[in-house]
Amino acid sequence: MKRIAIDMDDVLADAEGRFFELAKLRYGLDINPIDLHDKTWAQAANVPHEEIWAWLFEEDFFRKMKVKPHSQEVVKKLSNKYEIFIVSAAVEFPQSMKEKLDWLHEFFPFIDWKYVVFCGHKYMIKADYLIDDHQKNLATFTGKPILYSAYHNKNVKGYTRVEDWKEVEKLLL
């Protein structure tokens, strides 16, 4: 059975949507998605980096992300044919890990805790596929990398790109 490693933020969970929501709530900004192309959230909102960075350590920042459309049904289908591991670089945000487990338990209750990995680097994960939105993770991965589209990676070239979970389904099922 082939193994797929799946990232969380901006792949299963709508991290950019959470940013748009808080940028509106806190700064009254309607961020244009194009402003995230090759930019950090702080650059897009035109506020100091430290200010946005602090969000990532706030209670419920990760817990309240919305689930990406069709991710639940497609991951469920994939799990019949592949071994699924959720691999999130969450160790940087210690308080996020329990929230991420609670979030997975709510939206992906069929994924057992033994198949959840919180890490920093991902290059030591042995899998056939990695679905991730960050080039740094895909570039060093030893299996087949799949770039999950996000506004921030629109200009990244050289990877198999999927726009949404329906495209993942077509690609892998």
End-to-end CA distance of the chain: 13
9 is known as an active-site residue: yes
- Write down the residue that tokens 């402003």 correspond to: 35
By DSSP bridging, strand 144-148 and strand 129-132 are: parallel
* Nearer CB in complex with a second copy: 74/130: 130
Measure Cα distances from 64 to 60, 107, 109 in Å: 6, 12, 16
Instruction: Name residue 144's beta-bridge partners.
Output: 129
The correct pick among 2, 126, 154, 170 for binding a second copy (CB under 8 A) is 126
CB 148 within 8 Å of CB 132: yes
The stretch near a second copy (CB under 8 A) out of 7-15, 53-61, 111-119, 145-153 is 111-119
Residue for token pair 């940028």:
23
Q: What angle in degrees, to the nearest 10, is found between the helix axes of 165-172 and 71-81?
A: 20
- For the question of residue 7 being annotated catalytic, the response is yes
* Strands 144-148 and 83-88, sheet pairing: unpaired
Nearest distance from C-beta of residue 3 to a second copy, angstroms = 7
Q: Is residue 124 part of the contact set for a second copy (CB under 8 A)?
A: yes
Query: Of 56 and 125, which has the nearer Cβ to a second copy?
Result: 125
Q: Is residue 3 near a second copy by the rule CB under 8 A?
A: yes
**What's the min distance (Å) between Cβ of 46 and a second copy?**
29
Taking CB under 8 A as the rule, does residue 1 contact a second copy? no
Q: Report if residue 49 touches a second copy, rule: CB under 8 A.
A: no
Q: How far is the CB of 102 from a second copy (least distance, A)?
A: 8
Using CB under 8 A as the binding rule, whether residue 29 contacts a second copy is answered as: no
Identify the residue whose tokens are 């309607």. 30
**Which residues here bind a second copy, judged by CB under 8 A?**
3, 5, 85, 91-92, 94-95, 97-98, 101-102, 112-121, 124-127, 142
